[in-house]
Structure 1
Amino acid sequence: MTELDWREQVGKLLGRAERLEPGEAKVMALEEAARLADAHGDVPLAFEVRDALIDAATFGGFPDRALVAFAWCRGQQQRDPERFSPEPLLWKQKWVVGRLDEFPHISRKQIEGALDDVEQCFAKAGAGRRAVLKLRYQAARDMGDDAAAESFWAQWVKEPRDHLTDCRACELDDELDHHIDRGEYAVALEKARPLLEGRSTCAEVPHLTLGSVLYPLFKLGRLEQARDSHLRGYELVQRNREFLATLGEHLEFLALTGNVERGLKLFARHVGWALEHSSHRDRFTFYTASLALMEQALAEGHERVTLSLPRTFTFYSPGEEYETRTLRGWLASQAEGIAAKFDARNGTDRFHKLLARARQLGTEVVPFPIEAPILPSPSGRGTG
Structure 2
Amino acid sequence: MSREQLDELQSEAWGLEASPAKVAILEQAVQLADSLQDVSEGYNVRQQLIEAATFGGMEDRALVAFSWCLARSDKEPDRFPEDDLLWKYKWILAGVTDYPAIPLEKIRAMEEDFERRLKRNGYGLRSLYKLRMDNANDLGFLQAGKEFEEKWRKARRDGMVDCHACEVDAEVSVCVGNGEYAEAIKKARPIMSGKIGCHTVPQRTYADIIIAELSRGRLEKAAEAYESGYPQVAGNPDFLSTIGWHLCYLTRAADIPRGLRLVERHLPWASQSNNPSERMAFYSRVGTFFERIGQERPKSRKVRIPTALTIHNDEDRYAPADLAAWFQAEAAKLAARFDARNGNGYTSWDLADTRALALGLDRPEYEA
CA distance in 2, matches of 1:268, 1:363: 20
**Greater mean deviation of Cα atoms: 221-230 or 162-171:** 221-230
Q: Which amino acid aligns with 2:26?
A: L
CA distance in 1, matches of 2:358, 2:22: 40
CA distance in 1, matches of 2:274, 2:216: 34
CA distance in 2, matches of 1:356, 1:37: 47
1:60 is aligned to 2:56: yes
1:299 is aligned to 2:295: yes
1:167 is aligned to 2:136: no
Counterpart of 2:365 in structure 1 is none
1:202 is aligned to 2:198: yes
Counterpart of 1:325 in structure 2 is 321
Counterpart of 2:41 in structure 1 is 45
Does the C-alpha gap of structure 1 residues 107 and 173 become closer, same or farther in structure 2, counting only changes over 3 Å?
Answer: same
Counterpart of 1:12 in structure 2 is 8
Q: Which amino acid aligns with 2:143?
A: A
SS in 1 for 2:301: strand
Provide the TM-score with structure 1 as the length reference.
0.89
SS in 2 for 1:204: coil
**Greater mean deviation of Cα atoms: 59-68 or 41-50:** 59-68
Q: How does 1:1-384 map to 2 (within 5 A)?
A: 1=1, 6-361=2-357, 363-364=359-360
Q: Which amino acid aligns with 2:255?
A: N
CA distance in 2, matches of 1:352, 1:236: 29
Matched-pair contact (CA < 8 Å) for 1:292–1:361: no
**Identity, % of aligned positions:** 37
Cα deviation, residue 318, structure 1: 2.2
Q: Could you list the per-position Cα deviations for residues 25-52 of structure 1 after superposition, in whole angstroms to 9, with x for gaps in the alignment? A: 2222222222221111111011111111
How much is the aligned-residue C-alpha RMSD, in angstroms? 1.7
**Greater mean deviation of Cα atoms: 171-180 or 221-230:** 221-230
Q: Which amino acid aligns with 1:128?
A: G
Matched-pair contact (CA < 8 Å) for 1:291–1:358: no
CA distance in 2, matches of 1:119, 1:8: 40
For structure 1, the residue ranges without an aligned partner over 5 or more in a row are 366-384
For structure 2, the residue ranges without an aligned partner over 5 or more in a row are 362-368
CA distance in 2, matches of 1:197, 1:32: 44
CA distance in 1, matches of 2:266, 2:66: 28
Matched-pair contact (CA < 8 Å) for 1:295–1:362: no
Cα deviation, residue 268, structure 1: 1.9
CA distance in 2, matches of 1:209, 1:141: 18
Cα deviation, residue 77, structure 1: 1.1
Counterpart of 1:370 in structure 2 is none
SS in 1 for 2:154: coil
CA distance in 1, matches of 2:9, 2:303: 37
Matched-pair contact (CA < 8 Å) for 1:272–1:313: no
CA distance in 2, matches of 1:159, 1:305: 54
Counterpart of 2:364 in structure 1 is none
CA distance in 1, matches of 2:217, 2:97: 34
Cα deviation, residue 146, structure 1: 1.3
CA distance in 1, matches of 2:140, 2:169: 20
Q: Which amino acid aligns with 1:181?
A: G
CA distance in 1, matches of 2:225, 2:208: 10
CA distance in 1, matches of 2:219, 2:12: 43
Cα deviation, residue 176, structure 1: 2.0
Matched-pair contact (CA < 8 Å) for 1:107–1:345: yes
**Greater mean deviation of Cα atoms: 131-140 or 268-277:** 268-277
Matched-pair contact (CA < 8 Å) for 2:251–2:359: no
CA distance in 1, matches of 2:121, 2:280: 36
Does the C-alpha gap of structure 1 residues 225 and 17 become closer, same or farther in structure 2, counting only changes over 3 Å?
Answer: farther
Cα deviation, residue 312, structure 1: 0.5
Matched-pair contact (CA < 8 Å) for 2:26–2:48: yes
CA distance in 2, matches of 1:25, 1:363: 37
Does the C-alpha gap of structure 1 residues 158 and 302 become closer, same or farther in structure 2, counting only changes over 3 Å?
Answer: same
CA distance in 1, matches of 2:246, 2:348: 21
Q: Which amino acid aligns with 2:49?
A: L
Looking at both structures, which has the greater relative contact order when contacts are Cα pairs under 8 Å and sequence separation is at least 6? 1
CA distance in 1, matches of 2:95, 2:359: 33
Matched-pair contact (CA < 8 Å) for 1:252–1:289: yes
SS in 1 for 2:27: helix
Matched-pair contact (CA < 8 Å) for 1:342–1:351: yes
Counterpart of 1:369 in structure 2 is none
Matched-pair contact (CA < 8 Å) for 1:23–1:240: no
